[in-house]
Structure 1
């Protein structure tokens, strides 16, 4: 006669067998679904146009497959594609530059003007295609009104020299009645003594928060907006020689430029963090991944003697 313990053991074995029978088909179905995934590399298109640029530039590549063999940079290049940009009346073709790995043409071949719509079309030998449109923003009634600057000398008790810190921010007037997007940039230009004669040196200034220089007009007060504080740290060689020049670059951008760069910054901020929620990179391409956007650059400068 079977004991109570033996009967319980038999019941557990039957339950385990039943559970295995139910789970294995589900696993097999999952494997089948994975086999049906489309692992073909996707086309990626990136281009930003501006009336101030010397060239129209479009960059093409393919994505890295999520599963399978990693592609080399050479394998991800897209050559011999048909790439055109049109304003609706004039269409220009962009030629592939092997050295730069990009498609380009001189900007003089197509008039770029604020308020006009431009369409980018791409067709690849492999049958891929992409299309997107953008409007160059109108900078009318937008003006940089003030550049503020401070230079500070900081002593370090643990070292035998001083450090110099330069800070810059600026203010601009926003155009009322329209939605505007901005990318604020700044740099410093000064002379560096290199034999046989001094040469101009450009140093970028960076905001403390990496995405703080992307600004929307919803934060405007009385139609005025402010850049973040940009900072440049010097070294023990002494202060930057005077005279030097501060440059404020204000990119008046379309929504596509703004959303793409904003999402790219957010993705970079969580890179390597396994607990962070994934951020999707903005795309306005039809038939591919990537972005086609536009901007208009405004400039102001200040000389420090």
Structure 2
């Protein structure tokens, strides 16, 4: 009888505990959470268009959660620097607010404030300072033997880091190539057309484009290995099969972004989210916010680009 009593008591306690947990995540209480604006905007002196996304948070209990993406179309969005300011207008095709950078140039070293306000009183803002540019000094083509004795071609970027301050960087690139075709005729239209592919930067087997100078302040920095098109740049190692033999033409448009700390941390968190996507045992990754009165990220960067022809 005592055993039955103990078991009954445990069941009662567990049921009570589950009831308390159910009350803690009651969906009705989620809908009472105050809504906030979500602002995402990155500015640079190289912008061809100033673009800012403005959304609004949605409670999980929203019956239109899967169809209502929280897009805000009627906000007043203003970008200011000192005595200069410009109002961004909503672009319904791309769902962002935009302005012409020719009318409001973005300058290195200047501090900018972005403000968004809705007719019903929601308001949020962010501040950032655009970094100076970091000039790419050299791009080197190299190769390595992968598994099954295959050769993989990659590039590395090199640049001089500015001393004293902590700097953050992002490397990107576009590989443009035309496959080699010895049997093709020389007449126009018979040779392979140029194709493009992103340069895939990788560290220890993981795709990543971000790095900082925290352990190499003021030194010559180098990027991670940026692998070229894996479908065509991977060949069995042979003296007769080289990079020159693979392509009729091959160029890399290499870009180095000197980014601020907010940009670095936000995109670093995005990379961590991608790594854990689909893994039920991965810890959730919270995206950092730099927005006062809301959520999101407003950050600046400065970009330098070099076009390198390898073939």
Shorter-chain TM-score above 0.5: yes
- What corresponds to 2:111 in structure 1? 117
1:137-286 aligned within 5 A: 137-139=131-133, 142-150=134-142, 165-191=152-178, 201-209=195-203, 210-220=206-216, 223-232=219-228, 233-235=230-232, 241-286=247-292
Q: What's the offset of the Cα at 1:190?
A: 3.4
- What corresponds to 1:160 in structure 2? none
Q: CA RMSD in A?
A: 3.6
SS, match of residue 243 in structure 1:
strand
Change (3 A) 1:115 1:9: closer
Judge conservation of contact 2:159–2:222 (CA < 8 Å) in 1. Answer: yes
Choose 1 or 2 for highest CA Rg: 1
Matched pairs, number: 290
- Determine the C-alpha separation between the residues in 2 that align with 1:228 and 1:18: 56
- Determine the C-alpha separation between the residues in 1 that align with 2:87 and 2:298: 16
Change (3 A) 1:29 1:282: closer
Q: What's the offset of the Cα at 1:243?
A: 3.2
- Given the two structures, how large is their TM-score scaled by the length of structure 2? 0.79
- Determine the C-alpha separation between the residues in 2 that align with 1:57 and 1:211: 27
Change (3 A) 1:262 1:154: closer
- What corresponds to 2:29 in structure 1? 36
Q: What's the offset of the Cα at 1:231?
A: 0.9
1:294 aligns with 2:287: no
SS, match of residue 276 in structure 1:
coil
Q: Which ranges of structure 2 fall in alignment gaps of 5 or more residues?
A: 236-240
Change (3 A) 1:36 1:152: closer
